């Protein structure tokens, strides 16, 4: 078990974008849109939870480096079959921020689930995936398809 040494890598600008999806019934989506959720504003809470989780990534993912994030943006968009979440994380550091983007998406999806579980237990968190990654040795990577 080790956190691999990155001390020799240069500090460069890096960006990563990830996405995920919480599937739910149309009735539950309507509830979000109507603001009829006892715990409060689902989309605002999800976005905030995502930003905060990006900052906690090294505490959640044991072998992840602590990174000085320079920006985090999380979106949460309700559609007919659920809520789509994306997170874009930026840094100027020695290692990439894909884990931070994935952690932000995960926490935002968990928060959506938490606020709605009273109404629907069978929701599913689907397709948490890296979409794009720029900067660093591995250059520009974009998800296929």
Write out the H or E segment, with its range, that includes residue 73: strand 69-79
CB closer to a second copy out of 32 and 113: 113
Instruction: Say what angle helices 26-34 and 98-116 make with each other, to 10 degrees.
Output: 90
Cβ of residue 77: shortest distance to a second copy, in angstroms? 13
Helices (H), 11-97: 26-34, 42-60
Cβ of residue 30: shortest distance to a second copy, in angstroms? 20
Distances (CA, A) of 64 to 3, 35, 56, 67, 142: 7, 37, 10, 9, 22
Q: Hey, which residues are catalytic here?
A: 114
CB closer to a second copy out of 31 and 47: 47
Query: What whole-number distance in Å separates Cα of residue 45 and Cα of residue 74?
Result: 11
CB closer to a second copy out of 29 and 103: 103
């Amino acid at each position: 078990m080790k956190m691999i040494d990155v001390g020799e890598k240069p500090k460069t600008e890096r960006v990563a974008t990830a996405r995920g999806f919480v599937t739910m019934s149309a009735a539950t989506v309507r509830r979000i849109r109507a603001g009829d959720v006892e715990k409060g504003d689902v989309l605002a809470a999800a976005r905030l939870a995502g930003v905060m989780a990006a900052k906690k990534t090294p505490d959640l993912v044991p072998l992840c480096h602590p990174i000085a994030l320079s920006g985090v943006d999380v979106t949460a968009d309700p559609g007919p079959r659920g809520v789509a979440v994306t997170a874009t994380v930026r840094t100027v550091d020695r290692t990439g921020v894909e884990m931070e983007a994935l952690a932000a998406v995960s926490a935002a999806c968990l928060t959506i689930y938490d606020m709605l579980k009273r109404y629907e237990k069978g929701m599913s968190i689907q397709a948490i995936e890296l979409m794009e990654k720029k900067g660093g040795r591995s250059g520009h990577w974009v998800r296929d398809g």
